[in-house]
Structure 1
Amino acid sequence: MTIERKSPTGILGFPTAPYDESGTIDEKALATNIEFLISEGLTSIFIACGSGEFHAINRKEYRTMIEVAISVAKGKVPVYTGVGGNITDALELVKLSEELGAEGYLILPPYLIEGEQEGLYNYYKTIVESSHLNAILYQRDNAILQLKTLQRLVDELPQIVGLKDGHGDMELNLAMTQTIGDRLEWLNGMPFAEITMPAYAGIGYNSYSSAMSNYVPHISRMYYNALLEGNDQLVKEIYTEVLLPINEIRKSKKGYAVSLIKAGMKIVGLPVENTVRPPVVPVSEEDYAKLENIVKSALEKYPAENKEVSNS
């Protein structure tokens, strides 16, 4: 299997983990979620990552989610998986991802421990060199690489094709993008990435993971294109009328970064319930009503081309 040493670019799709009435993965709903993202032009599918409740799914469910993603994508877009946690599990998940036909994986932080730079270097090196698949490193929580450590890893491991930043240290980000340049693809992975994308776009981050693309992808695309084209007025309108109000809800409770996606999908008629696994909490009725008003107003001003999905 020949894999191009290039990270996905543009707007990256992160499906959810929809559950049925018995609380298990709803494969049909997951397939619909992925089909929707691909049909709306998202460039890739990152399955069983943060939005897909990586922290809460078991190994069988993980396998099922990847199998569904590979089956639906059919090679039209690359499929990346989430791996991480303790190093033994991470290595097993990389092997499974490779067996099932994924093109690469996103490395989530190690479990609990905040390691020294040498420890993080060894963690990433052990995982990446175990496979020929493409690897994307994720800056967040207890896994923050400094410039020298990242440089060392990318010099030694051609499998590393990108870095996703969910930390927000712009001084560090600038040092990395200016030093390492186009050796890596720079992905904005901040919570609700559209909110910070105007700042990230100016320092070399041309791609981002989009939670809202699970329910209003055309608005995310419109916003992204406006950023690239320098349409400041449209950027400002979408930012103040859609992004900021949604972000205010997202910030109001821990875990809403996951559950708010499912609420948005339910609002636009996609087959997913407002259910998540502990410790994440579902969106409250009050916040659901707020999100519904925002989404409906946004769809009135920026109507989707896919009327069937929007109005169902």
Structure 2
Amino acid sequence: MTRRQAPTGILGFPVTPLDDNGKVDEIALAQNIQFLIDEGLESIFIACGSGEYQSLSSGEYELLVDIALDVTKGRVPVYTGVGGHLPTSLEWAQLSADKGADGYLVFPPYLVGGEQKGLVQYYKTIIESTDLDAILYQRGQAVFSTESVQELAELPQVVGVKDGIGNMERNVQMTQTIGDRMGWLNGMPMAEVTMPAYVPLGFNSYSSAISNYIPHISRAFYEALLAQRMDDVRQMYQEVILPINAIRNQRQGYAVSLIKAGMEIMGHSVKNTARPPILPVEPEHYKQLEAILKRAHELYPKRTAIEHK
């Protein structure tokens, strides 16, 4: 029997492109997913944070899942986003299973927090509703104790933990107690910034926002980090990653809209627009990002062929 396991490497999180009428741009979404696959990303996480999960209708959610599965055609695992409002989470978890997704990333409960026992019950309710692989997403009000993760790890569906908190003491405790029974995914904002702290703990994958528009640089960064070519890592930090991150930190919501702006700058059929409360990138910041990306491509021209194992 094949062991269940979480995706590794650089994880692809497509956006949800919108047309001039605010509707899902199906063609642009398919192109986004195909681009990520062509660039060697190891998995697709559809309708998650970058995909504005919180603003999707049930019909749009189903559409996004259908497009992702149609484009990937089994070449890479497809994970969906579920969580928040519990009844909807259960509906969308079942839809993901019925459609043939490989698993889902389980978001925290909507707005309210709870004791560890309640948090475990919330995640168990969703995870046990299907047999799909599940990744626990630690962020916001969902902060797990090591004991809670151990309890959830007893469920065969649970294959990993994605950390969006950044408490390294907690991460050391969890990873060194639980070990490789779980996959460990770095889900911090602009995860390239923190990945050097995560790799020694056993985190072997991360979600990359910049892979939607400069995936070859994200790949070069990760390869340099794993090979301990720290001079290359530092240069990519100084010239590309930290300048983009500085713009990202200027406004709430840029975690999503800055991705769309970067894609538009790089010629993808994605407009610099998002659904409220997320706002588009402001003109000043847009120009700053343009300058960074121009410089990035001068320093790191894209290879004609992606070398990926």
Q: So what's the TM-score if we normalise by structure 1?
A: 0.96
User: Aligned partners of 1:216 and 1:275: how far apart in 2?
Assistant: 19
Question: Corresponding residue for 2:268?
Answer: 270
Question: Corresponding residue for 2:207?
Answer: 209
Matched, 1:248 2:246: yes
Match of 1:15, SS state, is coil
CA shift for structure 1 position 4: 5.3
Unaligned 5+ residue runs, structure 2? none
User: Aligned partners of 1:112 and 1:301: how far apart in 2?
Assistant: 43
Cα pair distance change 1:306/1:216, threshold 3 Å: farther
CA shift for structure 1 position 305: 2.5
Matched, 1:123 2:122: yes
* Residue deviations 1:89-141 (CA, integer Å, cap 9, x gap): 11111000011110000001111111110000100111111111000000000
User: Aligned partners of 1:223 and 1:66: how far apart in 2?
Assistant: 30
User: Aligned partners of 1:207 and 1:301: how far apart in 2?
Assistant: 25
Match of 1:77, SS state, is coil
User: Aligned partners of 1:58 and 1:305: how far apart in 2?
Assistant: 39
Matched, 1:14 2:24: no
Which contiguous aligned blocks of 4+ residues in structure 1 show a shift greater than 3 angstroms?
none
Question: Identity over aligned residues, as a percent?
Answer: 58
Question: Corresponding residue for 1:291?
Answer: 289
Code of the residue aligned with 1:62 in structure 2: it is: Y
Match of 1:55, SS state, is helix
What are the within-5 Å matches in structure 2 for residues 1-312 of structure 1?
A: 5-155=4-154, 157-305=155-303
CA shift for structure 1 position 161: 0.3
User: Aligned partners of 1:101 and 1:116: how far apart in 2?
Assistant: 33
Cα RMSD after superposing both structures: 1.1
User: Aligned partners of 1:110 and 1:287: how far apart in 2?
Assistant: 33
Match of 2:184, SS state, is strand
Match of 1:96, SS state, is helix
Number of residue pairs the alignment of both structures matches: 305
Code of the residue aligned with 1:272 in structure 2: it is: V
Code of the residue aligned with 2:201 in structure 1: it is: I
Asked if the contact 1:215–1:268 (Cα under 8 Å) also holds between the matched residues in 2, the reply is yes
* Residue deviations 1:138-174 (CA, integer Å, cap 9, x gap): 000011111011101102x010001000001100100
Asked if the contact 1:10–1:208 (Cα under 8 Å) also holds between the matched residues in 2, the reply is yes
User: Aligned partners of 2:253 and 2:100: how far apart in 1?
Assistant: 30
Unaligned 5+ residue runs, structure 1? 308-312
User: Aligned partners of 1:154 and 1:186: how far apart in 2?
Assistant: 12
* Residue deviations 1:216-241 (CA, integer Å, cap 9, x gap): 00000000000111111100000111
Q: So what's the TM-score if we normalise by structure 2?
A: 0.97
